[in-house]
Amino acid sequence: MSRPPPDPAEPRVTLAQVARAAGVSEITASRALRDAANVAPRTLEQVRAAARALDYVPNRMAGALAGGASRQVAVVLPSLSNSVFADVLRGLETRLDHAGHHPILGVSNYDPEQEERLIRDLLSWRPAGIVIAPAASTEGTRRMLAQSGLPVVEIMDIDPPPIDTAVGLSQRAAGRAMAAHLTGRGYRRFAYLGHDIAADPRALARLEGLRAGLADVRARFEEVLTLPGPSSVPLGREGLAALLARRAPGGLAVCFSNDDMAVGAMFHCMAAGLAVPGDVALAGFNGLAIGQALPQPLTSIASMRDRIGAVAADTLLARLRGEEPARSIDVGFALIPGATA
Amino acid sequence: MSRPPPDPAEPRVTLAQVARAAGVSEITASRALRDAANVAPRTLEQVRAAARALDYVPNRMAGALAGGASRQVAVVLPSLSNSVFADVLRGLETRLDHAGHHPILGVSNYDPEQEERLIRDLLSWRPAGIVIAPAASTEGTRRMLAQSGLPVVEIMDIDPPPIDTAVGLSQRAAGRAMAAHLTGRGYRRFAYLGHDIAADPRALARLEGLRAGLADVRARFEEVLTLPGPSSVPLGREGLAALLARRAPGGLAVCFSNDDMAVGAMFHCMAAGLAVPGDVALAGFNGLAIGQALPQPLTSIASMRDRIGAVAADTLLARLRGEEPARSIDVGFALIPGATA
DNA sequence: ATTTTCATTGACAGCGCTGTCATCGCCATG
DNA sequence: CATGGCGATGACAGCGCTGTCAATGAAAAT
């Protein structure tokens, strides 16, 4: 059982070798392997055969350096802890891959400093563009992105003025829509339960939308509780337990920063024998599959995350082709009435 | 509201300009910005100041081409649909980032052809190494990886003979452990409910482990049901409903390919008024947070996914430093007794 | 038959950086 | 005071590829 030799003098096959084997010049081989235009069919075949025979793997770094665009796309996400950004990433990767592009990934953990450093690092790979779900970005970050001269697609929220292009939904409008739904159903007592909001500008925007919506009917949150740490099922479960230790349930509608929190809250109600929505009403956000598979489907707002990823990729690719897509693309959201509020 | 000028003649700052501004040669500037060794403190400061003043962003493609290693790591995952690989990716990214490396991501969708194409593509970026959670890999894939001369870390399962290095757990042993747990608790009727198994070699390995464990007490699955599509909460819910349309629940223990399926099944039981584990016992796999936050914690096996990602990264980095870590690293697993079986 | 056109091919330079080796002082040593 | 050693710096070449423009020859046009 010996490890394959680390191949210290690794003599990688180069384009020059392929060209020699095919009996043509380097540049002709290069063209044959790319455009295929302006190359005689016979030559084309020879070059392809030689490449195949030698197991040639092009060196795209050299290619990108020499002239072509890089075909790598920097992707900066604030988190991979719940499925939200995993969904976005999936949509992104699929579409980029189809176009022969690949994501270089960075996760900022909602830390503006880390985000800035990350962007600086990723930019040094000279990507063709950048897709970012911003944390509370620093001024330096914005300047760097603007000055990079690259297409920049900011995803998730379309309300803040984009540096270049935005793809997502109006987080604020989503918040308002949920508030309207809840007040429309007759609820008059409200609480908010979220993860650490300071770091997550979109959760904050939704909260503000909720507040604005409640204010429309002169209602307000009795309590806004934010817990440290990323949103998660256990956090929602613990959170609701803590909240209900202080507040009478009767007719209280609780809004969550994310479906996973709401699902955890639902579990608490099940375990504590509380009727939903009779004793407590629960409203989530994102329309995750898990919420819809609950015995009672969760009241939520579908956020079409894979769509955001896909559209972000398409928008970026369009800009790379020199087109001028809209500065701001609203992929919308949909209220899911569910049965928990 | 005008888009920032696409900067057609984008004159990016180069090392040469920094060197000129600092009044030193290119190579000295290069050294100052990297090693900092063998550079006079005064020169060092001048170069750094110049770089800062010019907003210099190094071009690592050129750097990698010229000599240094690439500091990009190809990462190939079969899916991002459930949190399993998102967790792994998170662990990977964190550790790689700390070491100044970045993942280039590819998702194979459990398709061997796509996986092979993906690897070919990613290899053309001349990464420093590759981390892969293999689908049912083709012979071509294995050859390509072996001949690449790069460190290759295969993650998730340590049973198949690794091309180079493996980090994960014994999927088969995990299956056996669960079987032993269930038979030990007295269950004698068993069923298996999974997602499309043909494409997922690890789920298959676990199933075989389960079978082997059951065989130890002369038991076997009454039914092995695999549903098309990736594992998900709704799929588990529908799946159990379908299964119980054919099988009497009384004392049946159902094993799932993943916790999300089991959680869906739990929801079905709640909705259908079935007692768990009285009428049906449920056993998942992976120890996802959601399963543990259920009113009754799910019987499962914790698979330490972020740990796998972190260890995979560390192993790769160690190989890049020229060390010789073990060929196979077992991060283990832990049975979670839970309360559903 | 002569000129024009076009498809095909190649020579050359250079992308931005780093490894290698040479050079230059300056200091400590005898 | 001569010598060796060493820290600091730079010249040069080249990583593997592609854009640009020129050269070639054969087909098309006159």
A187 φ/ψ sector (left φ>0, alpha ψ -120 to 50, else beta) = beta
Give the DSSP H or E segment for B139.
Answer: helix B139-147
pLDDT surpassing 50 at residue B148: yes
Tell me how far apart the alpha carbons of residues B209 and B174 are, in angstroms, rounded to a whole number: 7
State the average pLDDT over residues A277-290.
Answer: 96
Q: Which nucleotide lies at the shortest CA–C1' distance from B39? A: D8
Phi, psi at A237, each rounded to 5°: -65, -50
The band of A197, judged by pLDDT with boundaries at 50, 70 and 90, is confident
pLDDT of residue A5: 40
Q: Measured between CB atoms, does A13 come within 8 Å of chain B?
A: no
State the average pLDDT over residues A60-68.
Answer: 91
Q: Which nucleotide lies at the shortest CA–C1' distance from A25? A: C10
Give me B56's structure tokens.
Answer: 């210099």
Tell me how far apart the alpha carbons of residues B329 and B308 are, in angstroms, rounded to a whole number: 9
Distance B58 CA to C22 C1' (A): 27
Residue B78, classed as helix, strand or coil, is coil
CATH topology for A72-169+305-332 is Rossmann fold (3.40.50)
Tell me how far apart the alpha carbons of residues B182 and B283 are, in angstroms, rounded to a whole number: 9
pLDDT surpassing 80 at residue B11: no
pLDDT of residue A9: 42
DSSP string, A121-135: HHHTT--SEEEE--S
Q: Measured between CB atoms, does B13 come within 8 Å of chain A?
A: no
Tell me how far apart the alpha carbons of residues B81 and B65 are, in angstroms, rounded to a whole number: 35
Footprint of strand C on the protein (CB under 7 A): A 24-28, 31, 38-43, 62, 65-67; B 12, 14-16, 26-27, 30, 33-34, 58-59, 62-63, 65-68
Distances (CA, A) of B211 to A135, A186, B161, B217, B256: 47, 54, 22, 10, 13
Q: Measured between CB atoms, does A146 come within 8 Å of chain B?
A: yes
Tell me how far apart the alpha carbons of residues B22 and A19 are, in angstroms, rounded to a whole number: 42
Using the beta-carbon criterion (under 8 Å), do B124 and A60 form an inter-chain contact?
A: yes
pLDDT surpassing 90 at residue B68: no
State the average pLDDT over residues B128-138.
Answer: 94
Tell me how far apart the alpha carbons of residues A291 and A276 are, in angstroms, rounded to a whole number: 14
Q: On the CB side of A156, how many CA atoms lie within 13 Å of its CA?
A: 21
Polymer length of chain A: 341
Q: On the CB side of A107, how many CA atoms lie within 13 Å of its CA?
A: 23
Phi, psi at A323, each rounded to 5°: -80, 170
pLDDT of residue A2: 38
DSSP string, A214-236: HHHTT--EEEEEEESSS--HHHH
Angle at B299 between CA B295 and CA B305, to 5 degrees: 105
Whether the Cβ atoms of residue B291 and residue B233 lie closer than 8 Å to each other? no
Chain A residues with CB-CB distance to B107 below 8 A: 90, 93-94, 97
Using the beta-carbon criterion (under 8 Å), do B65 and A70 form an inter-chain contact?
A: no
pLDDT of residue B67: 85
Whether the Cβ atoms of residue A118 and residue A101 lie closer than 8 Å to each other? no
- Which residue, among B340, B338, B82, has the nearest Cα to B194 in the 3D structure? B82
pLDDT of residue B180: 98
Tell me how far apart the alpha carbons of residues B213 and B18 are, in angstroms, rounded to a whole number: 66
Q: Name, in order, each residue with C-beta under 8 angstroms of A297's C-beta and a sequence gap of 6 or more.
A: A291, A336, A338, A339, A340
CATH superfamily, domain at B72-168+305-322: Response regulator (3.40.50.2300)
**Which of strand D's nucleotides are less than 7 A from any protein C-beta?**
7-12, 14-20
Tell me how far apart the alpha carbons of residues B114 and B112 are, in angstroms, rounded to a whole number: 5
Largest Cα–Cα distance of chain A, in whole Å?
84
**CATH 3.40.50.2300 residue window(s) in chain A:** 72-169+305-332, 171-302
**CATH 3.40.50.2300 residue window(s) in chain B:** 72-168+305-322, 171-302
pLDDT of residue A196: 87
Chain A residues with CB-CB distance to B124 below 8 A: 57-60
- Work out the number of other CB atoms within 10 angstroms of the CB of residue A27: 10
- CA B262 to chain A, closest CA, distance in angstroms equals 12
Chain A residues with CB-CB distance to B80 below 8 A: 86-87, 89-90, 93
pLDDT of residue B10: 56
Tell me how far apart the alpha carbons of residues B145 and A203 are, in angstroms, rounded to a whole number: 43
**Which of strand C's nucleotides are less than 7 A from any protein C-beta?**
7-20
Compare all CA atoms of chain A with the CA of B94 and give the residue at the minimum distance: A107
Q: Measured between CB atoms, does A213 come within 8 Å of chain B?
A: no
- In words, the CATH class of domain B171-302 is alpha beta
Distance A60 CA to C5 C1' (A): 36
Chain B residues with CB-CB distance to A119 below 8 A: none
Nearest CB to A80; choose among B90, B120, B163: B90
Sheet holding A189-195, edge to edge: A221-227, A189-195, A252-256, A280-283
Q: On the CB side of B22, how many CA atoms lie within 13 Å of its CA?
A: 30
Span A134-184, pLDDT tens digits: 998 898 899 999 989 999 999 999 999 999 999 999 999 999 999 999 999
Query: How confident is the prediction for chain B on average, in pLDDT?
Result: 93
Segment 154-173 of chain B within 8 Å of chain A by CB: 163-164
Residue indicated by tokens 């290899």: B123
Chain A residues with CB-CB distance to B103 below 8 A: 104-105
Whether B9 sits with its Cβ under 7 A from any strand D atom: the answer reads no
